[in-house]
Amino acid sequence: MNNEEPKAHNVKTVIPWKSLLIINLLVLFLLVFLFKIIPSPFEMVDKTLEKFNKYFGTKAQFDATFGPIVSEQRFRRLQFYQRNQVALFRIIRYRGHDYQNHDYAEFYKMESEKRKLENFPILLNQYCEWHAKGTFEFNFYIDMTDLAKWQHKWDEATFTLTLYPPDIEANTPAELEPVVFEKKADSLTLDEDYTKEQLLKQIYRLKNGLANDQKKLMYNEARLAIIEHYRGFFRMVPDLVMEKLPEVKVIFPHEIKNGNTGK
């Protein structure tokens, strides 16, 4: 009696060629369908650029896009402050080699910044000198709403919006503590009280001059604030939907004079 178990045989399944053809056609149809409904990365970039060109490709488009936003009360001005700033002032009245009396007034922040006494054409050491010291709050701002003063450049190649705002403006500093006067040098031939009065008269001009000098310390802060605001403005433009925000650069007027045009 033969007790051997039957051996398993490999069975090959043969798919009919018609079924293979149908499967291949279905796959091809699916690929074509996906290609049609899913845009390529290049098409997405082109559409994104087209959207941005529509909103700020030209100056007129830029103003129309951002004008309604910056006209809102909260965006009209960017304010910057320097509080509790010590301000130093000085006046020298001297008799010159022309035998006339002259006044020289200045502001300074450090003793080393003062004009040296030997640089004055003083005749026979005839001069008197007063100093003044006060504590002020410096207040600076940029006008955001007057877009006629703003320029821009939209660079499609680098996806960069460069802004050219007006210069920072400086308000008259607010006096936090009364100005204290001190006589540094007296004179037998010059009226010291009159010299102090002249310094009092020039304090307003000197304060504004110091404020305009101090504003150069605010440019980086102002630049960052403008960039942050405009990145937020992009999201406030009606119907402007984006996956990627443009890079924003800010160039101030004095930087253009120094050769920085943002190119």
Q: Which domain holds residue 87?
A: 56-257
Instruction: State how far the Cα of 204 lies from the Cα of 222, in Å rounded to an integer.
Output: 25
The verdict on residue 42 lying in a domain is no
Instruction: Say if residues 65 and 237 touch (Cβ distance below 8 Å).
Output: yes
Encode pLDDT of 36-80 as tens digits. Answer: 555 444 444 445 566 778 888 899 999 999 999 999 999 999 999
Band (258; pLDDT cuts 50, 70, 90): confident
Q: Quote the longest CA-to-CA distance of the chain.
A: 149
Phi, psi of 3 (to 5 degrees): -95, 10
Domains: count for the chain: 1
Flag whether 20 is in a domain: no
- Residue 81 belongs to a domain: yes
Q: Is residue 131 part of a domain?
A: yes
Whole-prediction pTM: 0.71
Q: Where are the alpha helices (DSSP H) in the chain?
A: 17-37, 41-56, 59-70, 192-214, 219-234, 253-257
Please check whether residue 114 lies inside any domain of the structure. Answer: yes
Residue 163 lies in a domain: yes
- Assess if residue 207 is contained within a domain: yes
Strand, helix or coil for residue 195 = helix
Q: In this structure, is residue 193 part of a structural domain?
A: yes
